[in-house]
Structure 1
Amino acid sequence: MKRKKVLTSAFSNLYTDQRIEKVCRTLHENGYEIELIGNNWGGEEQMQRPYQFSRINLISKTLKTAYFEFNWKLYHELKKKADENTILHANDLDALLPNYLLSKKLNIPLVFDSHEIFSEMPAVQGKMSQKLWRYLQNKIVPNLKFMITASGSYAKWFNNKYGIKPIVIQNAPKKINFSFEIPNNNPKILLYQGAINPFRGIDKAILAMHHLENVIFKIAGDGPRKKEYEDLVLKENLQHKIQFLGKLLPEDLRKITLAADLGMSIEENGGKSYEFSLPNKVLDCIQARVPLILSPLPEMTNIKRQFNIGEIIENHQPENIAKAISLVLNKGRKNYQSELEKASEILCWENEEVKLLEVFERASL
């Protein structure tokens, strides 16, 4: 049986979005004809994919107008490409409206993937735009037939609010068959990987370095707070203990993760989207068999309850972060290996993609 065409869209330049890449690759490898549509907001790096992709050219100068422009252009792009043999696949609320309107107009299936609770993200909190995103969400989400999301807590939130039951597809990496010799680093390496955004605990971890000896803190990623945190490092005279590695290709990041002694995911509670998140970096570190220090937030405490893969910080005081770091480093990475091994068998993309394919099977009927 010939599979349907899937038009996947996202307000993204697509380059570093690992979730979209994994989803598209799985669908492509299982016989779906994939076309991925993003935009050039935030750059237009060279990319190679085994399926078709394109980026909508945006001329907007501000993010606010870029959202409007993208949604308008995306609707016309989808309209050109969709037919009765198409499944629409919208990633996050900022790409949902054109997909929803077209799915209604053509009476074709739509799968919505909510990577987070977009209307409750710190970036929109207290702004006029939050009202708009909430309005859109309230109007559209209760009417969706196929929805997936990235954590059990997100699914529960959507279910309580809208009575919809999203399928949980965690953003886990593919399984790594681990035969890596654990390095004996001196100094020890603490790694943060991901966007340099507020509420990630990065500034608190920088200050925690005052309380640690023989540890170097590597920050891999880019984002709006990078300059502020670089200035903080200089102000605190911690240049010898902290390195900013910039934005890395996924394969380069993987090598750095494998070589770390400890990862961190100490997000602060910056609203429901952060409170209920299961950050990619947690699952990436688990696959790399690297222990973590974690926030006392629901998804992270849930994993820690199942597998002893690191330590939960008491709170975001730099002294307490340093205490948790010391605890893990003193035990040593080797001591966490059996629990990390168990967790890596369960928290991997191979298990998640089974659920993904079931959703698209149902949408194909």
Structure 2
Amino acid sequence: MKKKIITSAFSNLYTDQRIEKVCRTLYEAGYEVELIGNDWKGADPMERPYPFSRIQLSSGSLKTAYFEFNWKLYHQLKKKADHNTILHANDVDALLANYLIAKKLNIPLVFDSHEIFSEMPAIQGKMSQKIWRYLEKQVIPKLKFMITASGSYAKWFRKKYGIDPVVVQNAPKKQDFTIEIPENNPKILLYQGALNPFRGIDKAILAMHNLEGVIFKIAGDGPRKREYEELVIKEKLEHKVQFLGKLKPDDLRKITVTADVGMSIEENGGESYFYSLPNKVLDCIQARVPLLLSNLPEMQNIKNQFDIGEIIQDHQPENIAAAVNKILNKGRKSYQGELEKASAAFCWENEEIKLLKVFENASK
């Protein structure tokens, strides 16, 4: 009899592809899966083959929302969990409630750290950073089962807390690439993901002054959206930059596959960014789209294995433009052989084997 897994996350669940893939893999492996999120920033309708619910939050600010969520999550887990349950917490903002219930019932807890939460740019230098660091320090060294999203993250946690996480990268499912590569005119440079600071988006907008016959499409939403829209107007680049807004995962995939160049030029906005392997890199690899990359460890590591694009010299707009032109001059077709090899290496089918092993061990 397979155990019940209760997965929880401070997330409205709708666009979180990692959680969706993890839960689907566990469900298809025969576990009884239940998913708990919240309604922070909306609660779009969605369908899943397993039960899910969203905790309603009345907090007006993120600070209080974290406390409210963990308080309500604790009481939900207390009702739902029993001795046949594995708890599965996603990120530090869902960890405390899970840890307390796991300890109370003496049941296994699997912690999945999608990033280094206490080192994210949004909380650097704030009081909340001290609280999250304290929580990490108190709980993570006591955990038995942990997974994380990149090899560099795993090294960081090992050095900091003496725990050895299993690396489960957030790769998409393997896609058979059969479409005809479009002959775009103008060519398409694509950014997909959250519109947050330190993503190089503003620098890429300025780089459009140095790019002819190219349109920059920005798919996503986030706190910096208005600032970037204003920058486009100020620089008179409305004819060269398009904001596509937040897209459903399926709609985004249809856009990704049409791009000539995908972009992941994160800046060093602290250790969480520095050691990350952004989802968009792996999404573009599966869509067989060459990439414009920054010189951060995980991206450098992929580039060393497979020639899937170009690494920018720095974040000067003219150097970004030069790297884009280099990819466009070579052409998307010339990268296909290496992208094909990379797509076989970086796919969910490889990652889920490691994921299932962790839950098998937790079941024992």
TM-score surpassing 0.5?
A: yes
- In 2, distance between residues paired with 1:138 and 1:168? 20
**Separation in 2, partners of 1:162, 1:72:** 26
Matches within 5 A, 1:137-286: 137-286=136-285
Corresponding residue number in structure 2 for 1:112: 111
Report matched runs for 1:16-165 at 5 Å: 16-165=15-164
Shift of 1:105: 0.3
Spell out, residue by residue over 1:218-243, the C-alpha distance to the aligned partner (whole angstroms, 9 max, x if none): 00000000000000000000000000
**CA deviations over 1:303-357 (Å, ceiling 9, x no partner):** 0000000000000000010010000011000000000000000100000000000
- In the other structure, the counterpart of 1:7 is 6
Looking at structure 2, the residues matched to 170 and 301 of structure 1 have their Cα atoms a distance apart, in angstroms, of 16
Q: Size of the alignment, in residue pairs?
A: 364
Structure-1 separation of matches of 2:357 and 2:291 = 32
Counterpart position of 1:313: 312
Instruction: Return the TM-score normalized by structure 2.
Output: 1.00
- Post-superposition Cα deviations, 1:146-194, rounded to whole Å, max 9, x if no partner, equal 0000000000000011111000000000000010100000000000000
CA distance in 2, matches of 1:74, 1:232: 41
Amino acid of the structure 2 residue aligned with 1:164: I
Amino-acid identity (%): 78
Q: Secondary structure at the match of 1:55?
A: strand
User: Over aligned residues, Cα RMSD in angstroms?
Assistant: 0.4
Deviations for 1:217-268, whole angstroms, at most 9, x for unmatched residues? 0000000000000000000000000000000011100010001101000000
Q: Per-residue displacement from partner, 1:116-157 (whole Å, max 9, x unpaired)? A: 000000011000000000000000000000000000000000
CA displacement at 1:198 relative to structure 2: 0.3
Task: Work out the CA distance in 2 between the residues paired with 1:193 and 1:348.
Answer: 19
- Residue in structure 1 matched with residue 335 of structure 2 by the alignment: 336
Q: 1:54 and 1:214 mapped to 2: Cα distance?
A: 47
For 1:117 and 1:300, how far apart are their aligned partners in 2? 17
Cα separation, 2, equivalents of 1:34 and 1:234? 47
Quick one: distance in 2 between partners of 1:181 and 1:3?
44
Structure 1, gaps ≥5 residues long: none
TM-score, normalised via structure 1 length: 0.99
- Provide the C-alpha distance between the structure 2 equivalents of 1:186 and 1:123, rounded to a whole number of angstroms: 38
Instruction: Give the distance between the partners of 2:196 and 2:122, measured in 1 at CA.
Output: 9
How far apart, in 2, do the equivalents of 1:321 and 1:36 lie? 41
Q: Aligned equivalents of 2:282 and 2:49: distance in 1?
A: 25
2:361 matched to which residue of 1? Answer: 362
Query: Runs of 5+ in structure 2 lacking a partner?
Result: none
Question: Counterparts of 2:113 and 2:272 in 1: how far apart (Å)?
Answer: 11
Q: Which residue of 2 aligns with 1:345?
A: 344
Give the residue type in structure 2 aligned to 1:303: I
1:15 positional shift = 0.4
